[in-house]
Amino acid sequence: MSSVSRVSAPAPSTTRILLLLGPPGCGKGTQAESLARHFSIPAISTGEMIRGEIRAGTELGHLAAGVIHDGGLLGDDIVNRIVKSRLSQEDCAAGFMLDGYPRTVEQAHYLDALMTGSGLPQPTVIHLDVHPEHLIARICNRRDCPKCGAIYNLLTHPPLHDGACDHCRVELERREDDCETTVRNRLAAYEHSTAPLIDYYKQGNYLRVDGAAPAEQVFASILQMLN
């Protein structure tokens, strides 16, 4: 599989708007942090937006908190309004990167209309594509330090001392949901919900990147395509 394939070039603009798509464990968090730092734009996740509204005590925050407290899932209307509120903030003036939104084609239509109505370019979509078996191996070999939060991988980034954190020497732990059955279920749910979204975005500014490569190589490939 080629490391990067390009469907269409991003429209030239001084405003950088990026969307990150990819399955659980593909490295979106690492790439989001690197890209945000490189382009000096905020990396915004759905969870961050929702928590921000709740902390601020806004009307949207109260609505979201009520739904979450009752164990429900936030509908598109509330999520879309929260996205609109967040993207209107000053730090998004030169661009932004979204991770976790949109999740559906309907949300993608809303974002398109929001960008058009705000005079902003349509986003460039970065799809971190990783074969499911590679993801399963990556996630199931992940270990965390319960004290400092350092993350290791027994295959690609093992600790210097077997089973212990390099910094704290505390015994590493595996997350309960990092077992193979759970990971396969999560990947199946992702494919079911996200496949239509990827098909939708393939008609626009879409980059597919081999997310199985080392993080530095993935980042370099993304920059090469964006530039």
- How far apart are the C-alpha atoms of 19 and 13, rounded to whole Å? 15
Distance of CA 21 to the CA centre of its chain: 6
Residue of 86, 138, 142, 143 marked catalytic: 142
Q: Are 142 and 153 in contact (CB under 8 A)?
A: yes
Q: Is 16 a catalytic residue?
A: no
Q: Is 28 a catalytic residue?
A: yes
Assess whether the previous peptide bond of 10 is cis (omega < 30° from 0). no
Residue of 6, 147, 169, 175 marked catalytic: 175
Q: Is 186 a catalytic residue?
A: yes
Residue of 28, 86, 138, 208 marked catalytic: 28
- How far apart are the C-alpha atoms of 33 and 74, rounded to whole Å? 26
**What SS3 class is residue 6?**
strand
Both structure tokens of 32:
């989001």
31 backbone dihedrals φ, ψ, rounded to 5°: -70, -35
Both structure tokens of 115:
């960008």
Residue of 138, 143, 186, 208 marked catalytic: 186
Q: Is 103 a catalytic residue?
A: yes
Residue of 51, 84, 103, 184 marked catalytic: 103
Q: Is 84 a catalytic residue?
A: no
Active site residues: 28, 103, 142, 175, 186
